[in-house]
C-alpha cells in the first residue's frame, strides 16, 4: 500500500476534520433560542410515533409511554411497540432494500449523511429540547449530544469517501484492486444516555458502509429515535434501508439477534446484554449467510487518579464534573477517585463541599447541573448501591432531594470514602451519581487499584510530574486515557471512543477504523495480458 522504503515518521497526523461547535450559552440569543425551543416542544408532547418498516408507518396494538424523568406525570410521547412479527417484517424489508442500497456509490451514500447532518443542524435546539424532556438531559449536555450526532454523520461521510476509492496495486499484465463491500442487514441496538448521538453514530456508520439497518432504540428514548427516522427519510434514505423498530428489548431483541437474515449487530449498553448478544450471535443457523459480526460498547468503572502534586483546583472540578454530569449516567463517568495519601484530606474536603454545592433539579431549568435519573428501575438500582455505600463505607456526601422525589426520579449526588477496592461499590457499574473515593499509598498502588476491575473504558490522572504521567500512559489499562482533564465528553475524531476488557468488543466510535467493522474487504486481481499484449498500468494512463 505505502512505499516501504520511506522511514516511518515519528508522528502521524489525523486527517483534518472540524467538530460541530457546542453552543455558547454565554450568549443571550442562544439562551433565548433554546428556551423558545423548550416552549415549542412542550406544546407538542404526548404525540404518537408508529413503527417505520419498509417506508411504511405501522401502528401497533401495544404501545410504550415515554415519560419525562424530571416530571413523571408528563408523557413525552406514545410509541408503538413492535412484536416479533414486526421484527421479522423489518428484517425482510431491510434485506430487500439491501439489494439496491449495496450498489449505491459510496460518495452518494456519504452525501446522504451530509444532508442528515445539515438537517440535524437546522433542527438543533428542537432536538435538544426533546432530549431535555425525554431523557432528563440538562441544556448543555443535550446540546453536546446533538453536536456529536452531527459529527458522526460528517466524519463517517468523510471516512467513507476515502474508503470508497479502491486501492490499486497494478503490475504490468495484472491489475489488483482492494475495495470494500457492505455486510448486509445490521441491527442497531442503542442506549438512552446519548439518545441521538450514539444511535446516530451506529446507524449512519452502517448506512454509509452500504448496509441496511433496523434501528432498535432504547425504550426510554424512542421519541428522539423517531425524530432521527424522520430526518433520515427527509434526507432521502430510501424505504427499507432504515427501519424504525421501537419495542421492548427482551421481546424483540432475541428475534433480531438470532435471525439468519441479520448479518451484523451494533450494540451499546450494559455488559450483561452485550455479552448475551455476543453469545447468541455466535450460534450459527444453517440458513444464515455467514458468521455474524458483533460490535458492542459496554460499561465502565472509570477511575481518576489524583497524584500528590495535582492541581487540586482542576482535579476537584474535573472529578465532580465527570462523576455527576448527567447524573453519572455515562459509560465514561468517573465512579472512582483514587487519591494519593499526601493530598487525600485536602482533596476530599473540597470534593465534599463542591458536590454539596451542585444544583439538583429538573433538566428544563438552566441552573440544573444534576438532573434526574432515567427511570424507576434506575432509581431503585442506584438506591441499592447507595444503601451498600452507607452500610460499608464512610458517607461523605448524601444529598437529600426528597422534595423533588414526588416530581421525578431524582437522586442527589453521593460520595463515599474508605471504599474497599473489592466491594461492589468499587467494582460494579452504578450508572448514577455515586462516587467512591479510595486512598492509595503511592502511584504503584493507585495504578493497581485503577486497573483492578473487569472494565477498561476511560480513566484519568491529575499529575504535574512528567514521569508519572508517562507511567499512566504506559500502565493505565483503559481505552480512553485523559491526563489533567475531565474524562467524559469525548469528541468525534479527537477522542475516538471505546474500551477493552469487558468494556467493549470492536474499535472506537468516531475513530478512523470504526467503519471497517461494517465492511468486508475484497481484493480483485485481473490478468490483463491477452495474446502477449497488455494495456499500460493505471498510473501511466493518466
Give the interface with other proteins as residue ranges (CB under 8 A). 18-22, 24-28, 31, 139-140, 308-314, 316-317, 320, 342, 350, 353-354, 356-359, 365-367, 369, 464-467
Q: By C-beta, is 20 or 175 nearer to other proteins?
A: 20
What's the grid cell of residue 415? Answer: 460520595
What's the grid cell of residue 440? Answer: 492509595
Per annotation, catalytic residue among 297, 364, 429, 477: 297
Closest CA to 462 of 352, 348, 340, 366: 340
Angle between helices 249-258 and 84-101 (to 10 degrees): 40
What's the grid cell of residue 426? Answer: 468499587
Largest pairwise CA distance in the chain:
88
Burial class (CB in 10 A: 0-12, 13-18, 19+), 21: exposed
Cβ 301 vs Cβ 459: under 8 Å: no
Question: CA–CA separation, 6 vs 262, rounded Å?
Answer: 43
458-462 and 480-483 strand pairing = parallel
Cβ 70 vs Cβ 372: under 8 Å: yes
Show the CA angle centred on residue 169, arms to residues 163 and 175, nearest 5°. 110
Question: CA–CA separation, 432 vs 385, rounded Å?
Answer: 9
Active-site residue flag, 331 = yes
3-state secondary structure 110-157: HHHHHHHHHHHHHCHHHHHHHHHHHHCCCHHHHHHHHHHHHHHHHHHH
Closest CA to 293 of 520, 521, 522, 106: 520
Determine phi and psi for 238, rounding to 5 degrees.
-65, 155
Per annotation, catalytic residue among 153, 331, 343, 393: 331
- For residue 229, how many other CB atoms are within 10 A of its CB? 24
- The gap from C-alpha 294 to its chain's centroid, in whole angstroms, comes to 15
Closest CA to 223 of 195, 243, 200, 185: 195
519-527 and 174-182 strand pairing = antiparallel
Question: CA–CA separation, 189 vs 277, rounded Å?
Answer: 10
At 194, is the secondary structure helix, strand, or coil? Answer: coil
Question: CA–CA separation, 376 vs 8, rounded Å?
Answer: 54
For the chain, how many residues are written?
Answer: 542
Active-site residue flag, 297 = yes
**Residue 188, beta-bridge partner list:** 215, 266
Question: CA–CA separation, 530 vs 188, rounded Å?
Answer: 48
CA distances for 528 relative to 174, 177, 178, 539, angstroms: 5, 13, 17, 15
Question: CA–CA separation, 451 vs 446, rounded Å?
Answer: 9
Question: CA–CA separation, 191 vs 173, rounded Å?
Answer: 52
Please list the active-site residues: 297, 331
Amino acid at each position: 500500500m505505502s512505499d516501504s522504503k520511506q522511514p516511518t515518521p515519528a508522528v502521524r497526523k489525523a486527517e483534518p476534520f472540524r467538530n460541530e461547535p457546542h453552543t455558547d450559552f454565554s450568549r443571550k440569543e442562544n439562551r433565548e433560542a433554546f428556551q423558545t425551543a423548550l416552549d415549542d416542544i412542550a406544546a407538542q408532547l404526548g404525540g404518537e410515533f408508529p413503527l417505520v418498516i419498509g417506508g411504511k408507518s405501522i401502528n401497533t396494538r401495544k404501545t410504550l409511554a415515554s415519560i419525562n424523568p424530571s416530571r413523571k406525570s408528563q408523557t413525552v410521547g406514545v410509541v408503538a411497540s413492535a412484536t416479533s412479527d414486526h421484527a421479522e417484517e423489518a428484517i425482510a424489508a431491510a434485506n430487500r432494500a439491501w439489494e439496491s442500497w449495496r450498489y449505491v456509490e459510496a460518495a452518494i451514500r456519504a452525501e446522504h449523511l451530509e444532508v442528515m447532518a445539515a438537517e440535524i443542524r437546522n433542527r438543533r435546539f428542537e432536538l435538544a429540547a426533546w432530549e431535555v424532556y425525554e431523557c432528563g438531559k440538562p441544556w448543555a449536555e443535550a446540546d453536546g449530544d446533538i453536536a456529536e450526532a452531527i459529527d458522526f454523520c460528517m466524519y463517517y461521510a468523510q471516512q467513507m469517501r476515502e474508503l470508497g476509492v479502491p486501492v490499486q496495486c497494478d503490475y504490468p499484465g495484472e491489475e489488483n484492486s482492494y475495495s470494500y463491500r457492505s455486510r448486509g442487514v445490521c441491527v442497531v441496538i442503542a442506549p438512552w444516555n446519548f439518545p441521538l448521538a450514539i444511535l446516530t453514530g451506529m446507524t449512519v456508520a452502517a448506512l454509509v458502509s452500504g448496509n441496511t439497518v433496523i434501528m432498535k432504540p432504547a425504550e426510554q428514548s424512542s421519541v428522539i429515535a423517531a425524530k432521527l427516522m424522520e430526518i433520515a427519510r427527509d434526507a432521502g434514505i430510501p424505504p427499507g434501508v432504515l427501519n424504525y423498530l421501537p419495542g421492548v428489548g427482551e421481546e424483540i431483541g432475541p428475534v433480531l439477534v438470532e435471525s439468519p437474515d441479520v448479518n451484523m449487530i451494533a450494540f451499546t449498553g450494559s455488559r450483561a446484554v452485550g455479552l448475551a448478544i455476543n453469545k447468541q450471535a455466535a450460534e450459527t443457523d444453517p440458513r444464515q449467510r455467514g458468521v455474524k459480526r458483533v460490535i458492542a460498547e459496554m460499561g465502565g468503572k472509570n477511575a481518576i487518579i489524583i497524584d500528590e502534586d495535582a492541581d487540586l483546583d482542576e482535579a476537584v472540578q474535573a472529578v465532580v464534573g465527570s462523576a455527576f454530569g448527567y447524573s453519572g449516567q455515562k459509560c465514561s463517568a468517573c465512579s472512582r477517585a483514587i487519591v494519593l495519601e499526601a493530598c487525600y484530606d485536602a482533596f476530599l474536603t473540597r470534593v465534599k463541599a463542591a458536590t454539596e454545592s451542585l444544583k439538583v433539579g429538573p433538566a428544563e431549568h438552566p441552573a440544573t447541573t444534576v438532573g434526574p435519573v432515567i427511570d424507576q428501575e434506575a432509581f431503585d438500582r442506584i438506591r441499592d448501591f447507595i444503601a451498600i455505600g452507607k452500610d460499608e463505607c464512610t458517607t461523605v456526601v448524601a444529598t437529600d432531594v426528597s422534595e423533588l422525589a414526588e416530581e421525578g426520579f431524582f437522586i442527589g449526588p453521593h460520595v463515599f470514602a474508605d471504599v474497599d477496592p473489592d466491594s461492589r461499590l468499587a467494582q460494579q457499574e452504578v450508572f448514577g451519581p455515586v462516587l467512591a473515593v479510595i486512598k492509595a499509598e503511592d502511584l504503584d498502588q493507585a495504578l493497581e487499584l485503577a486497573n483492578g476491575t473487569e472494565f477498561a473504558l476511560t480513566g484519568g490522572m491529575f499529575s504535574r510530574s512528567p514521569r508519572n504521567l508517562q507511567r499512566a500512559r504506559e500502565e493505565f489499562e483503559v481505552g480512553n486515557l485523559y491526563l489533567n482533564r475531565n474524562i467524559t465528553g469525548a469528541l468525534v475524531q479527537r477522542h475516538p471512543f471505546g474500551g477493552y476488557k469487558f468494556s467493549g468488543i470492536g474499535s472506537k466510535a468516531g475513530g478512523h477504523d470504526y467503519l471497517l467493522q461494517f465492511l468486508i474487504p475484497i481484493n480483485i486481481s485481473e490478468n490483463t495480458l491477452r495474446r502477449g499484449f497488455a494495456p499500460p498500468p493505471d498510473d501511466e494512463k493518466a
